[in-house]
Amino acid sequence: MKYLLPLFLFIALAIFLAIGLKLNPREIPSPLIDKPAPAFNLPILATPEQRLSQADFKGKVWLLNVWASWCVSCREEHPLLIELAKQNKVLLVGLNYKDEAQAANAWLSKHGNPYNVSVMDADGRTGIDYGVYGVPETFVIDKRGVVRYKHTGPVQPGDLEKIFLPWIQQLEAENV
Amino acid sequence: MKFLYAVILSLLVYQARADIEYRDFKQPEQEQAYQTLISELRCLVCQNQTIADSNADLAKDLRRQVYEMLQQGKSRQYIVDFMTDRYGDFVMYKPALKLKTMLLWLGPVLFLVIGLATVWVLRSKTAVIDEPLSKEQQAKLDSILDKGDDA
C-alpha cells in the first residue's frame, strides 16, 4: 500500500501529461459557433467595383475560407479545396485576408481558383470580426447564416470526407 | 567578476516591447487605459506574448482596434467584451471570473488545501506519543547506554 499510492499518483500524472501532449494549443474554441456569421460588406476580388455581404448567401450552405497569397500553409490545403470545388456540393467563398488584389489574383491563376467568389479584407477588420488568428481558417455556415463549425489551420487530407462533407450534408438537409 | 556584471546587467533588461506605433491621446487616462488593455490582451498568433509585446501582424491590428475603440469613447468593458466575443476568454491574460474559468481561478487554492490536508493527515499519523518509558524499557535503555559504543 505504501508503494502503491505514489505509483497511482505517477500513473494519473502520466495520463494527464499524455492527454496534454495530444492537445493542440493552437486550437482555440471559437465563441462564434452557433452565432450569426459576423457582418461584412467587402469588394469582390475579381470585380472590385462590386461588393458582397454575408446576407447575400442567406438560404445557402456556404464555406468561408480565409486565405492569402502570402500564406504558406494555404498552399498545403489548396488541392483539397480544388477537389471540393469539383464536387460542386457547396458554395465556397474566399476571404482574401490582408492581401493585395494583384498578388491574390496572380496566386489564383497560378494555383487554380476553387472559390465561387472571393472578397477582399485588405485591412483585416473582417478577420478580427471572425476571430481569425491563423490563416487558413474555414467556417461552415448554414442556411440561416449561423456559423456551425470552424476549422483552424489547413484542411488536411481526409478532412473533407470526415468533417466537411458530413457537415454540408447535414446542413443541406436542415429546413430554414 | 565580469561574468557577474553580465548576469546583473542581463537581469536589468526590461521586457522588450513591440508597440512602437505613435498614438495620440486626448486625455492621459485614455493612454493609461490603452497601455493597460494592450498588456492584458493575448496575441493569439504568438500565444505567450501580449499584443503589446508582439510584433505579429495580428497584434498590430488588435492594437489599432483597441486604439480606435478608445478614441470612439468606448469603455474598457466594451473593448474586453468585443475581444472575448471574437476570440474567446483565451484572449484575456486575466480571464473573467465565471463558471467556465472557475477551475483556473480556484485551482491553486484547491491545490493548497489538498497539500495542507495531506501534511495534516501525515503529521497526525506519525505523531509521537509522549509517554514515559516503562521500568523494563528504562532498564534496557540504561544497560545499552552503559555499554557504550564498544558493545
Fold of A32-173: Glutaredoxin (3.40.30)
Q: Are B39 and B72 within one domain?
A: yes
Q: Model confidence at B148, in pLDDT bands (50, 70, 90)?
A: confident
In chain A, the residue whose alpha carbon lies closest to the alpha carbon of B56 is A133
Beta strands of A44-125 (E only): which ranges?
51-53, 62-67, 91-97, 117-121
Look at strands A91-97 and A62-67 and give their pairing: parallel
% of chain B residues with pLDDT over 70: 91
> Is B90 within 8 Å of A133 when comparing Cβ atoms?
no
Q: Are B76 and B36 within one domain?
A: yes
Residues of A in Cβ contact (< 8 Å) with B44: 28, 133-134
Q: Are B43 and B105 within one domain?
A: no
Residue among A28, A32, A130 minimizing CB distance to B44: A28
Q: Are B76 and B38 within one domain?
A: yes
Is the pLDDT at B147 greater than 90, yes or no? no
Task: Tell me the per-residue pLDDT of B39-61, one tens digit each, with 9 for 90 and over.
Answer: 999 988 877 889 988 888 899 99
> Is A131 within 8 Å of B47 when comparing Cβ atoms?
no
Q: Are B109 and B48 within one domain?
A: no
Q: Are B26 and B84 within one domain?
A: yes
Is the pLDDT at B17 greater than 90, yes or no? no
Helix axes B76-87 and B57-71, enclosed angle (nearest 10):
140
**Which of B58, B80, B96 is the last residue in one of the domains?**
B96
Q: Are B72 and B144 within one domain?
A: no
Residues of B in Cβ contact (< 8 Å) with A98: 57
B23 within domain boundaries: yes
Classify the C-alpha dihedral A107-A110-A111-A114 as positive or negative. Answer: positive
Q: Are B90 and B20 within one domain?
A: yes
Q: Report the pLDDT value the prediction gives residue B70, as an integer from 0 to 100.
A: 92
Q: Please report, for chain A, the start and end positions of each structural domain, with discontinuous segments joined by +.
A: 32-173
Domain enclosing residue B28, as ranges: 15-96
Q: Model confidence at A20, in pLDDT bands (50, 70, 90)?
A: confident
Task: Tell me the per-residue pLDDT of A112-123, one tens digit each, with 9 for 90 and over.
Answer: 999 999 999 999
B22 within domain boundaries: yes
pTM for this one? 0.76
Average pLDDT over residues B3-21: 72
In chain B, the residue whose alpha carbon lies closest to the alpha carbon of A25 is B47
Q: Are B88 and B124 within one domain?
A: no
- In eight-state DSSP terms, residue B92 is B
B132 within domain boundaries: yes
Distance separating alpha carbons of residues B110 and A63, to the nearest angstrom: 44
Q: Model confidence at B16, in pLDDT bands (50, 70, 90)?
A: low
CB pairs under 8 A between A and B: 39
How distant is the alpha carbon of residue B25 from its chain centre? 31
> Is B86 within 8 Å of A131 when comparing Cβ atoms?
yes
- Residues within 8 A of B (CB atoms), A 104-163 only: 123-125, 127-134
Residues of A in Cβ contact (< 8 Å) with B47: 25-26
B2 within domain boundaries: no
Among the residue ranges A73-87, A137-151, B16-30, B134-148, the one predicted with the least confidence is B16-30
Number of structural domains (chain B) is 2
Output the nine-digit C-alpha cell for A121: 479584407
Task: Tell me the per-residue pLDDT of B75-119, one tens digit each, with 9 for 90 and over.
Answer: 999 999 999 999 988 898 887 778 878 888 899 999 999 999 999
Structural contact between residues A70 and A107, judged by C-beta atoms closer than 8 angstroms: no
Q: Report the pLDDT value the prediction gives residue B96, as an integer from 0 to 100.
A: 77
Is the pLDDT at A101 greater than 80, yes or no? yes
Work out the minimum CA distance from A48 to partner chain B, whole angstroms. 23
Distance separating alpha carbons of residues B88 and B4, to the nearest angstrom: 44
CATH number reported for the structural domain that contains residue B54 in this entry: 1.10.8.640
